């Protein structure tokens, strides 16, 4: 399930920790609930997904070595040159957060939910400093664990729980900085 803003008229900078609040009903005592904050808009971005002999984690080998200082018998002081591994893509996951619903009150103490009863569940996403460019759209995607493997789109795969979300009661808090751009 995804929500999208209209295209942005101006660049917007996110700086801090986004949070999300959902009103949900479950048909079992718990479920894994996930959210993705997504930047939709074609752009050249760091490609964190490509993994090969010469690239991984957003870096690629660009050839050659650089050396710093005098080497020793154990360390020659040299390192392989690396640069950003980029790709053109239509979206970028900016931040994410996941929560086991039975830990909605406390991360250290489980409280199973009563099936069929609505609950307000809120949690923080990973902090981020990121610029959404003008013309791009912000998206909030609600997921379970491993949502891309779902056979039935309304079932959360880790627990098999059917999750019903009250969309009118869903909100996200974004720490936006106005009038400031990165770079």
3-state SS string for the chain: CEEECCCCCCCEEEEECCEEEEEEEECCCCCEEEEEEEEEEEEEEECCCCCECCEECCEEEEEEEEECCCCCCCCCCEEEEEEECEEEEEEEEEEEEEEEHHHCCCCCCCCCCCCCCCEEEEEECCCEEEEECCCCEEEEEEECCCHHHCCCCCEECCCCEEEEECHHHCEEECCEECCCCCC
Distance (Å, whole) CA 75 – CA 44:
36
Which residue spans of the chain are classified as CATH 2.60.120.260?
2-47+85-177
Residue keyed to tokens 């760091």: 46
Query: Could you report the per-residue pLDDT of 44-65, keeping only the tens digit for each?
Result: 999 888 888 899 888 999 989 9
Question: How many CA atoms are closer than 13 Å to the CA of 122, on its beta-carbon side?
Answer: 9
Just give the CATH number of 2-47+85-177: 2.60.120.260
Question: Could you give the percent of the chain with pLDDT greater than 70?
Answer: 89
Answer yes or no: pTM beyond 0.85. Answer: no
Distance (Å, whole) CA 40 – CA 37:
10
Whether 138 has a pLDDT exceeding 80, the answer reads yes
Mean pLDDT of 153-168: 75
Mean pLDDT of 71-94: 92
pLDDT bucket at 151, cuts 50 / 70 / 90: very low
């Amino acid at each position: 399930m995804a929500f999208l803003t209209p295209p942005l008229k101006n660049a917007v900078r996110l700086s801090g920790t986004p949070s999300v609040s959902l009103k949900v009903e479950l048909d079992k005592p718990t479920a894994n609930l996930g959210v993705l904050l997504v930047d939709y808009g074609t752009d050249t971005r760091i490609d964190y997904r490509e993994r090969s002999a010469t690239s991984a984690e957003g870096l690629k080998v660009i050839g050659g070595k650089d050396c710093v200082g005098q080497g020793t018998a154990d360390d020659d002081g040299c390192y392989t040159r690396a640069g950003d591994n980029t790709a053109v893509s239509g979206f970028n996951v900016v931040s994410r957060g996941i929560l086991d619903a039975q830990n909605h009150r406390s991360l250290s103490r489980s409280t199973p939910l009563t099936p069929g009863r609505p609950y307000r569940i809120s949690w923080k996403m990973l902090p981020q400093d990121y610029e959404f460019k003008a013309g791009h759209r912000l998206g909030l995607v609600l997921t379970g664990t491993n949502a891309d493997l779902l056979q039935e789109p309304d079932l959360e795969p880790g627990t098999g729980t059917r999750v019903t979300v009250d969309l009118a009661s869903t909100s996200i808090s974004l720490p936006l900085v106005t009038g400031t751009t990165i770079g």
